[in-house]
Amino acid sequence: MLRRKFFYAGAQWSVALAAPSLLLKANAQTGAFPTKGLRVVVPFAPGGATDATARLIGEKLSRSLGQSVIIDNKTGAAGAIGCAEVAKAPADGYTLLYTLNDPLINNTVLIKNLPYDPQRDFRFVASILRSPALLSVPASLGVKNFEEFKAYAAAAGRQVSYGSWGIGSLGHLAGQTLGSSLKFNSVHVPQRGEAPVLQDLLTNTINCGWTSAGTARPHVLGNKIVPLAMMGVNRSSALPNVPTFRELGITDNFFDRSVWMAVLVPKATPDTVVARLSTEIQAIANSAEVIGAIRERGLEPMITGADRALAMYNEEFPVITKRLRDLGIEPS
């Protein structure tokens, strides 16, 4: 979906947003947070949905706090480089992390000697959105719905190839899990992001593929690929006619998962600072402009405070890490 799409461009790009000088002076006199500019580390390359939504929120956060906000892309190692930098930053609220869930969950299994411990080194500020994963097939395959796909996959001697945005990604785990659930022979075709997966679907190179709903939507509307089922508890507003796996009788709770994005800070950041940031960021994310921008990209608003974001993380962590280990996906 989104995750691998962002990992491979080694770019670092910062945008500083000017702050009103009068509010700067007032804050300096009172000692109230914040008294200087903030930096938001995005552990993926510029141009993707993570970067774009971080910049939109950062621009508005600069206005609401009266300070500059810099978006700093620190890419590499499946998001681990950027996360490690924030983990080591001063816990004062001036360095924030805006990331997908993968570096906070999947990386604990996939990367040996991970240079940070998500549970020890971070605390949540707010969650912003989710991006449901979609299973699709090429239109040329002749499969029109999930039931027909099951019949296709069950054919004697057939090997079903599926694409995902990388080894250990949610799409990879979903493909392996679906093959096990439906008892068909599958082979994984990992790619560096969603775009190559879509290209493989469009050229009939693979039998099926996992992408985000928003990325696939133009090709679904153009009748070039056929959507079969959506991961997540609820249907996606990007493709509201596509049923969830649970609606289709797949009860494994793994298929209730989605990629999500959240804001975090170093663990020892004071409660008062976290509360201020959480209030400001949730208000920004709930604005009509930001919600509209999220939905325009085929993403789903999922705006919560720190406690709910942490509860969601704690619920998901054992499910994903256990599935990685059960499937024998080795760390690098």
pLDDT in tens, the chain (332 residues): 444 333 333 333 333 444 444 444 444 434 589 999 999 999 988 877 889 899 999 999 999 999 999 999 999 888 999 999 999 999 999 999 999 999 999 999 999 999 999 999 999 999 999 998 999 999 999 999 999 999 999 998 899 999 998 888 899 999 999 999 999 999 999 987 888 899 999 999 999 999 989 889 999 999 999 999 999 999 999 999 999 999 999 999 999 999 999 999 999 999 999 999 999 999 999 999 999 999 988 899 999 999 999 999 999 999 999 999 999 887 76
Query: Smallest Cα–Cα separation from 258: which of 108, 99, 131, 163?
Result: 131
Strands 259-266 and 69-73: unpaired
Copy the structure tokens of residue 221: 């509307």
Q: Which residues, in sequence order, are bridge partners of residue 65?
A: none
E strand segments, the chain: 38-42, 69-73, 95-100, 122-131, 133-138, 159-164, 185-190, 208-212, 225-230, 259-266, 300-305
Q: What pLDDT score was predicted for residue 332?
A: 63
Give the burial string for 142-152 (b: 16+ CB within 10 Å, else e): ebeebeebbeb
Q: Do residues 97 and 309 lie in contact, with contact meaning Cβ atoms separated by under 8 Å?
A: no
Amino acid at 246: R
Q: What pLDDT score was predicted for residue 2?
A: 40
Q: What pLDDT score was predicted for residue 27?
A: 44
Domains of the chain by start residue, with CATH: 4-130+259-326 (3.40.190.150), 133-256 (3.40.190.10)
Strands 69-73 and 38-42: parallel
179, with CB counted inside 10 A (0-12, 13-18, 19+), is middle
What is the 8-class DSSP label of residue 248?
T
pTM recorded for the entire structure: 0.81
Q: What pLDDT score was predicted for residue 298?
A: 86
Q: What share of the chain is helix, strand, coil (3-state, %, to 5)?
A: 45, 20, 35
Residue 298's CB is within 10 A of a number of other CB atoms, namely 21
